[in-house]
């Protein structure tokens, strides 16, 4: 399976290496002695990274074993995970559907049971979307909470490093490893007995909306309907910001002529983003962030689908430039910087479905506690 672009066996000084939990890393994260290629032929000749990214050092210090680097959507600029040069990761649980991008191999490695957890990055849904497509858990932490030192691109106002896992226990353990300040590393998650959940009004397909509502109500916590009027504007603003920041990071690579045609096309379009576009997007960022903050003063967690509909079928996903709207319900929270998690649900009409939860900035522990409560009460998979 095209999941690992390089297999590794890197651990600390533990006597019994085989007993250590295993983790795979997206190929935008530096591992000393290994080139970071970001799934692109334009970086095929990249030199080995001179040092580990900070999160890699944290993982090793916490007793994890690095199993390898995973394939991804080229230059982390796409939502499907299709990569004609580095290889497209299969979707182990839903093989007819795309694995999701851009952290496709990281989600697939967990879904296939190849590792205990994996690490991806999320600039516009790139952890939560592949988690939803592959039927696993995926966390986008609060912006800035997890170190991005040694992670491509070097500069971003949207991107977050986050873990994938097949269950909440493993996800929490991995989060505690990459972020030593995460409190569950030294004690239980916060109590959620008194928290309220706001069920967000969206335009999701009826079957997905019903599955999300059922999962939230099964948690036995107070639930109330809520709205965010700025979701559409925040989605569009998030596109403007990611366009200008990714073009700044990747323009020189596009000029080599070695970037895949689909990604190069989107990047050249991204280059048309104007200073005025960015200025308007930053105004939306301020307004939408305040709206989300105000809502999270009323409820502890916002619940909504991770994707409004099923992911594309592999057979129908050739034109990746048309698929960016897979992220309409996730990208707004990259713009605002709030932590968000994807929780797998039972398939809807044979397609993967996923619940997204969003919490206040810095409340990643509470977010994981509510996610654990909901996950524990979901029916077991068939």
Residues 6+ away with beta carbon under 8 Å from 325: none
From the list 40, 42, 103, 126, the catalytic residue is: 126
Q: Tell me which residue of 367, 353, 381 sits closest to 132, measured CA to CA.
A: 353
- Which residue blocks in the chain are alpha helix, DSSP H? 54-61, 104-111, 128-134, 168-178, 206-218, 231-254, 261-270, 275-298, 331-336, 364-376
> How far apart are the C-alpha atoms of 20 and 179, rounded to whole Å?
18
Nearest residue to 185 (alpha-carbon basis) of 204, 164, 171? 171
Give me the residue label for tokens 């977050």.
Answer: 160
**Cis? peptide before 84, omega within 30° of 0:** no
State yes or no: is 102 an active-site residue. yes
Residues 6+ apart with CB under 8 A from 42: 253, 254, 256, 258, 259
**In the beta sheet, which residues pair with residue 35?**
48
Q: If you count them, how many residues does the chain have? A: 382
CB burial string 257-293: b at 16+ within 10 A, e below: eebbebbbebbeebeebeeebbeebeebbeebbebbe
In this structure, are residues 107 and 136 in contact, taking their beta carbons and an 8 Å threshold?
yes
3-state helix, strand, coil in the chain (%, to 5): 40, 20, 40
Query: Catalytic: 118?
Result: no
Separation between Cα atoms, residue 163 and residue 143, nearest integer Å = 14
Report the distance separating Cα 239 and Cα 259, nearest Å: 20
Q: Which is catalytic among the residues 40, 42, 93, 102?
A: 102
Quick check: 336 and 360 in contact, CB under 8 A? no
Which SS3 state, helix, strand or coil, does residue 97 take?
Answer: strand
Query: Which residue numbers are catalytic?
Result: 26, 102, 126
């Amino acid at each position: 399976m095209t999941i690992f672009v390089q297999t590794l066996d890197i651990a600390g000084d533990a006597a019994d290496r085989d007993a250590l939990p295993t983790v795979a890393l997206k190929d935008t994260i530096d591992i000393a002695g290994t080139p970071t290629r970001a799934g692109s032929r334009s970086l095929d000749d990249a030199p080995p990274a001179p040092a580990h990214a900070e999160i890699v050092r944290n993982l090793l210090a916490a007793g994890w074993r690095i199993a390898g680097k995973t394939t991804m959507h080229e230059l982390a600029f796409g939502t499907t995970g299709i990569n004609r040069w580095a290889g497209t990761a299969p979707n182990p649980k839903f093989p007819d559907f795309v694995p999701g991008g851009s952290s496709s191999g990281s989600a697939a490695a967990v879904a296939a049971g190849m590792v205990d957890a994996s690490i991806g990055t999320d600039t516009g849904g790139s952890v939560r979307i592949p988690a939803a497509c592959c039927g696993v858990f995926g966390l986008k932490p609060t912006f800035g909470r997890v170190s991005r030192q040694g992670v491509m691109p070097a500069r971003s106002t949207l991107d977050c490093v986050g873990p994938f896992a097949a269950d909440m226990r493993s996800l929490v353990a991995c989060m505690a490893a990459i972020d030593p300040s995460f409190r569950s590393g030294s004690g239980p998650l916060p109590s959620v007995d008194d928290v309220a959940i706001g069920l967000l009004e969206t335009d999701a397909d009826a079957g997905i909306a019903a599955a999300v509502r059922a999962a939230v109500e099964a948690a036995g916590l107070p639930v109330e309907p809520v709205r965010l009027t700025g979701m559409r504007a925040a989605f569009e603003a998030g596109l403007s910001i990611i366009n200008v920041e990714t073009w700044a990071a990747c323009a020189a690579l596009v000029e080599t002529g070695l970037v895949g045609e689909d990604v190069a096309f989107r990047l050249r379009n991204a280059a048309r983003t104007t200073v005025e576009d960015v200025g308007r997007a930053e105004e939306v960022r301020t307004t939408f962030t305040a709206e989300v903050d105000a809502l999270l003063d009323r409820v502890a967690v916002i619940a909504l689908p991770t994707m409004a509909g099923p992911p594309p079928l592999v057979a129908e996903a050739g034109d990746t430039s048309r698929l960016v709207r897979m992220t309409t319900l996730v990208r707004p929270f990259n713009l605002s910087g709030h932590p968000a998690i994807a929780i797998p649900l039972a398939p809807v009409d044979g397609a993967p479905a996923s619940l997204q939860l969003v919490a206040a900035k810095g409340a990643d522990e509470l977010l994981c506690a509510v996610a654990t409560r909901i996950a524990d009460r979901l029916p077991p998979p068939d």
